[in-house]
Structure 1
Amino acid sequence: METFRRIEKIYYTVLAVIGVPVNLVAIVILSRGKCGLCKCITIYLVAMATADLMVIITGVILWRISSYYFPGSFLNITPVCSAVIVLYYAATEWSVWFTVVFSFDRCVAICSQKLKSKFCTEKNTAVVLATTGILICLKDIPFYFIFEPAEVINDVPWFCNERAIYYTDPAWVKFDWFDKVITPLLPYVLILLLNALTVRYILVTSRVRKGLTAQRKGENHSDLEMESRRKSMILLFTISGTFILLWLLYVIEFCFYSIIGNHPKYDNNAFYILTEIALMLLSLNCCTNAFIYGVTQSKFREQFKNVMKYPFTSAIQLSNKQCN
């Protein structure tokens, strides 16, 4: 067990060192709007990167790393750690549900040109993201009240233990089920369904277009619309596919423990390790999107190179001015 805890410490430290700058760079590059993406996609990707950054800050740095390197700090005072945990829950759900609404937006844009002109607008995108974020915050407020101090020292409550009533009171049990269904079960099902609908539409339209193209004998026709859709689909399927893979163990754990009726016993090393690995994987999901942008979007890579060169070019220009 001690070996696994050391692995956790190293893992979350590396995750924070990589995750914070990667997401910050992604936010800066995407916000400039020079990646060749439409405004709607750009807004969604910035929102997702911001949510991922919040997960790294609250869940990895303020919760995990602080307990490893700064045990007994003010972050362990009960009201503070309760607030940090609630913010971590909210940020995680922002990341998940922003992925869902992004998948829905791209499904509409690819599958229905009529709905695309009405739904896929900058105003609607901002409204959807704001509404989703506010509803998640309101839903997670009750979590603040499920914690109690593990000990009280000089009238100061320390650490956050879940109240026993959270697992026995019918109202809290129903709330816990509602929370687990909202995240991750429902988003997982929705993303699978949206991707299935998108793939089905692509296969049907591809057959039709191949038939039409075959009739144009001798024409060197470039289907710009299909090329644009192809790039959009690659981005969509890569992001949603990564989400599905990294959240898979957590979803399996939820189904096994909650639906079947078996619950993890943390005094059992195997159950503890399984749960922690599931949390490690879903935390990793908050670092992958920026790398996906770099792999799938050539203009994003170009902008990344420009951002990396900027400090050096600025220093050279400044030194040239001073020499003149």
Structure 2
Amino acid sequence: MRRGRAGTVVVDAWVGVVAGIYVVVFSAVVMVCFWSAEEREWRALAAGAGPGRPSGQRLSLYELACIENRFGPGNILGVALVRMHAEQRLTLLGRGYDGYRFRVEDPHPRDEVEAVLLDLLAGGRGWLSTSFGPYDLSVPPWRALHERLVTDGLLRERGLPEGITAGSPRVTAWKSTRARAYRLRSRLLTGALVAGAVTAQLSELWLPLALYIAALAVLPVLSSPAVRTQRAAATEAGKAAARTARAATTVSEEARALLAVALGGLSALPHLHPFVEPPRASSPPAASRTAERGEEPQRIINDPPGVGGLL
């Protein structure tokens, strides 16, 4: 130990190196233990998933619409709307640039989706926007359909293993345990970083501290933790089921229209469907006023003049 400039106490370099090694080893042990615990918790959570849906079970039109369009129930409501119109439970009265006007012939819904659709029609006094909005994705029809597809292994929640729904008690407990582990790891690594900074200050060895900080920033990126950033998407089983549904042979025009709406919404309906506005006939060109009066139209000669300016 010696005194440096301005009377500061400076420890020997070897003392700083040994202390730095201890700090690095301690931090590495903390990171490895955290990753191991995270791996165990992730596997335990994934083990709670159900067996999934049998591959031979076909999707309903509502389920197909939910898989193909996960950002809103527009396609699902479109399927119910087209079906109710085909069954003459709704009568189309008129079209607008952003919606339709209907008369309800049968006010009794046959499922929860039709109940939501009838509520929208009642709230709009027969007028229904083509966007089917506004709607609440947390209401039972949409949330229950989404959770059923997740439980069957056809959809995946964001940041969770396949077959696990975000609202299950297991996920709530897992998130709570993971948050506590993150807080503990942050405290331990912060303490190690402070110890490394004090050691660097006393030994005047700043390069090892800089390398240590860089390692703390790079190691989580280079590692392969158990919890990977999963985005909400259809699983491979869900994609295969959707391909099977798209390739299914449809016999009637109604079945083809319903399949088209489930896949692409009302904009995918065939051109002859009543919901599709027919193209406007082009109007004939208006007759000129000269022709209406029976006069000969004026002739304009653009030829160059002859010799002497005469033709």
> Which bin holds the TM-score, normalised by the shorter protein?
under 0.3
Larger helix proportion of the pair: 1
Comparing both chains, which one has the higher relative contact order based on Cα–Cα distances under 8 Å and sequence gaps of 6 or more? 2
TM-score (norm 1): 0.24
TM-score (norm 2): 0.25
Bigger Rg, which one: 2
